[in-house]
Structure 1
Amino acid sequence: MATVLSVSGSPSVSSRTAKLLRHLDERLVAQGHRVTPLDVRTIPAEALLGADFEHPAVVEATELFARADGVVIGTPVYKAAYSGVLKALLDLLPQYALTGKTVLPLVTGGSTAHVLALDYALRPVLNSMGAAHIVQGWFTLDKDITTGEDGGVTLAPGTAEALAQVVDQFSAALGRTPLLAAAG
């Protein structure tokens, strides 16, 4: 199946966004995809903020994007947009780093007032980077993501069903990407 890069754009160690992504990664693996997680917060700040294109962590992240067939990008909403650490990474990638790739954008936030960040902040950037297909994304309220003592994630019932459907649509689109690229 496809190789998927699962990117968490949260700066927080205890991030619900990252936990949600790792939970969704399991579904993609169960569907036969190879998933590589990338937590942007693990890239040294001096490399991100200093625009150090040659830093080994930035080079490695760039290579992960290049090897991926599909990319899941998750971010918390800060100031009605995606996170600054995610922006810093995207700025360091080649202009068309998403060319030929299927992309699933996911956003988490504390209020439905931030739901438009998905379509008005994140999606345009992903589109400008050449994504072949940006599937329907999803906004999830923080309160709908619960972490158990064992580290496992539980999603509110409606959220779990909606995210399963979105991930399944992404997975199906990954299977069609080579056909789209061959036709182009």
Structure 2
Amino acid sequence: MEKAVIIYGGNTRKSRLKGVLDKAEGFLTANGFAFETIFVHELPAEDLINANFKSKSIMEANAKVESADLIVIVTPVYKGAYSGILKTYLDLLPQKGFERKTVLPLVLGGSFGYLMVMDYALKPVVSALGATTVLKGAYVLDTQIQYAENDQFLIDPQADKRLNSVLETILEEKSRYSSSIHG
């Protein structure tokens, strides 16, 4: 498991969600993963809304997912669930688009009242897409991430610790994956 893709389900690169993305990208870089990030909001809106499976942009994004061993989903909570734009993209993946993949959800929400979004909203869809392993994700409050300057974000120490902990599970899974391949 050396190749990853991050699916960014936010609607802008300017939100606090980008702080979560930056943390995930930094972790993957520091641990030698080759990865790409799909910014769903930058895919052609018409292709997303019209479910254009033959769109060049959608097919390129899907190819990134297909070639990855690890999928990190970064999404905000809107109306008690993950973002609609993320769902729109997930609907355009092949039926078993996450088969033989490990998935890690990272969620940003306004209150801990939506903590179960990962288990009750996101996990069923990820499982329906055939994910082999869904790692325990992290839920971060938007108040735990502050915009600094130069497009940088400061993460509250408690949230940072939680993110580090779940990101470390990627390495544990990578080790298990390598053992099963070479064992």
TM-score range, shorter chain: over 0.9
- How far residue 179 of structure 1 moved from its aligned partner, in angstroms, is 4.7
Contact 1:69–1:174 under 8 Å retained in 2: no
RMSD: 1.6
In the other structure, the counterpart of 1:49 is 49
Structure 2, gaps ≥5 residues long? none
Q: How does 1:10-159 map to 2 (within 5 A)?
A: 10-159=10-159
Deviations 1:122-152 (A, max 9, x none): 0111111111111111110001112211222
Deviation larger for 4-13 or 172-181: 172-181
Structure 1: distance between partners of 2:100 and 2:170 = 14
How many residue pairs were aligned? Answer: 183
Q: What TM-score does the superposition give when structure 1 sets the normalisation length?
A: 0.93
Say which SS state the counterpart of residue 97 (structure 1) adopts.
coil
Say which SS state the counterpart of residue 53 (structure 1) adopts.
coil
Contact 2:9–2:86 under 8 Å retained in 1: yes
Structure 2: distance between partners of 1:180 and 1:128 = 24
One-letter amino acid matched to 2:145: I
- How far residue 74 of structure 1 moved from its aligned partner, in angstroms, is 1.0
Percent of aligned pairs with the same amino acid: 36
Structure 1, gaps ≥5 residues long? none
- How far residue 60 of structure 1 moved from its aligned partner, in angstroms, is 0.5
Structure 2: distance between partners of 1:169 and 1:98 = 18
- How far residue 178 of structure 1 moved from its aligned partner, in angstroms, is 5.0
Q: What TM-score does the superposition give when structure 2 sets the normalisation length?
A: 0.94
Structure 2: distance between partners of 1:134 and 1:31 = 20
One-letter amino acid matched to 1:5: V
Deviations 1:72-111 (A, max 9, x none): 0011111111111100000000011111111101111111
Deviations 1:20-47 (A, max 9, x none): 1122211111011112111100001100
